[in-house]
Amino acid sequence: MQIYAFAITTFILGLLAGILGQRSGFCFIGGYRDFYLFRDTHLVKGVISFALAAIIGYTLLTLTGTIFVTGTFPWAFYKGLSAIPGTIVKATTLESSLLVAAVGGFGLGFFSALAGGCPFRQHVMASEGGKGSIGYVLGFWIGIPITYAIIYALGLLA
Amino acid sequence: MKESEKRPVLPRLKAWQAGLIIGLFAALAQAVYNVLPKTVEGFPAYRIAPPAYGFCMFCHVRDLVNWFLNGAIPWMKVAPISVIVPTLTAVGILIGGSLTAVAVGEFHLKRTYNPGLGFIYGLLVALSAAVLGACSTRVLLRVAYFDAVAVFGLISLILGVFVATEFILKRGGG
């Protein structure tokens, strides 16, 4: 089954990210925090190089015509000011998708900084045996069905 | 054995080196989605796996949880990809991180912060990521895909980090 190539790819990508993350302490939230606190650029350089490398990657895929769903990159050029699908909240207009992005983004930054790392970093720390992060990962995984239940109960589910 | 403890099998990396490699492969993974069927249960390819979907902690864990639950919770059937195939990103990270930590002798159960508090944080981060539609990793992929709404979300996220940092400073550390 060729779709299992997809499962294997995500697994290998995760494996690679786990190895590199363990060796580098790479964190998406820690970068902004350390820059704000100490003007330390070690982690934020990781964040910037991640974004730049992704732009290079998408450009390569577009140029070779192998990107999934052709005619979408660069998104703003083809689709204007709409959002890439992702949010589970009902957001059809530009105003509502901006509001959803603002609320979700702020909450994500706020709680991740309180927890001391982004979800990726917490998974790596849990894999090293950090007890706090193991609790976090359990909360994150179990929190997903709970999240859907909350959004559904509020009547906001897309 | 003593020698290998002094010199780890894998050298420490700078964050920018790790970011460069993960970012490139997260983008290139977008090509692999071409193996997926063009429609599943009436959903077009677009809804099966949206653009900039190569690497996401929230979405991929959600798809895996969905695949595992297999429709046990009716209102969670929103990610058609999880009907056909499990996304194993988070499993890979946990295994890759553990194996590396064991190989370099950094694997041991340690007290970091209160796991109960960690559970609550994990839950709240999952809720926020669901609303934003991306974790802190995928929001960067969406920005790299030139999604203007994601740029707005990223600015809001950075603001949230700054406010939380001020909050921690006011409270008197950690």
B7 pLDDT above the threshold of 70 = no
What is the mean predicted confidence (pLDDT) over B30-36? 82
Mutate to test the interface with B, among A1, A12, A13 (most CBs of B within 10 A): A13
Percent of chain B with pLDDT over 90: 50
Question: Range with the lowest mean pLDDT among A111-115, B34-38, B158-162?
Answer: B34-38
Give dist(CA A141, CA A144) in Å, integer. 6
pLDDT tier for residue B171 given thresholds of 50, 70 and 90: confident
pLDDT at B33: 81
Q: What is the DSSP letter of A92?
A: -
Task: Show Cβ contacts of residue B74 under 8 Å, excluding neighbours closer than 6 positions.
Answer: none
Average model confidence (pLDDT) across chain A? 90
Please, which contacts does B33-41 make with residues 24 or more away whose CB atoms are closer than 8 Å?
B33/A6, B33/A68, B33/A69, B34/A66, B34/A68, B35/A2, B35/A3, B35/A5, B35/A6, B36/A3, B36/A6, B36/A68, B36/B81, B36/B84, B36/B85, B37/A3, B37/B84, B40/B80, B40/B81, B40/B83, B40/B84, B41/B80, B41/B83
Structure-model confidence comparison of residues A33 and A5, the more confident one: A33
What is the mean predicted confidence (pLDDT) over B6-13? 72
CB contact under 8 A, A83 and B133: yes
B48 touches chain A (CB under 8 A): no
Q: Could you report the predicted ipTM of this complex, rounded to two decimals? A: 0.92
| Domain residue spans of chain B | 3-170
DSSP string, B96-162: HHHHHHHHTT----B--S-HHHHHHHHHHHHHHHHHHTS-TTHHHHHHHTT-HHHHHHHHHHHHHHH
Give dist(CA A127, CA B52) in Å, integer. 26
Render pLDDT for B126-140 as a digit per residue (tens, 0 to 9). Answer: 999 999 989 999 999
User: Which token pair is B126?
Assistant: 């999952």
pLDDT at B53: 86
Angle at the Cα of B143 (from B138 to B145), degrees rounded to 5? 95
B162 touches chain A (CB under 8 A): yes
Residues 46-85 of A with CB under 8 A from B: 46-58, 60-61, 66-69, 72-77, 81-85
Chain B residue with minimum CA distance to A43: B15
pLDDT at B1: 42
A120 touches chain B (CB under 8 A): yes
pLDDT at B6: 52
pLDDT at A84: 84
Contacts of A46 in chain B (CB under 8 A): 14-16, 18-19
B146 pLDDT above the threshold of 70 = yes
Q: What are phi and psi of B62, to 5 degrees?
A: -60, -45
pLDDT at A32: 94
Render pLDDT for A90-105 as a digit per residue (tens, 0 to 9). Answer: 888 889 999 999 999 9
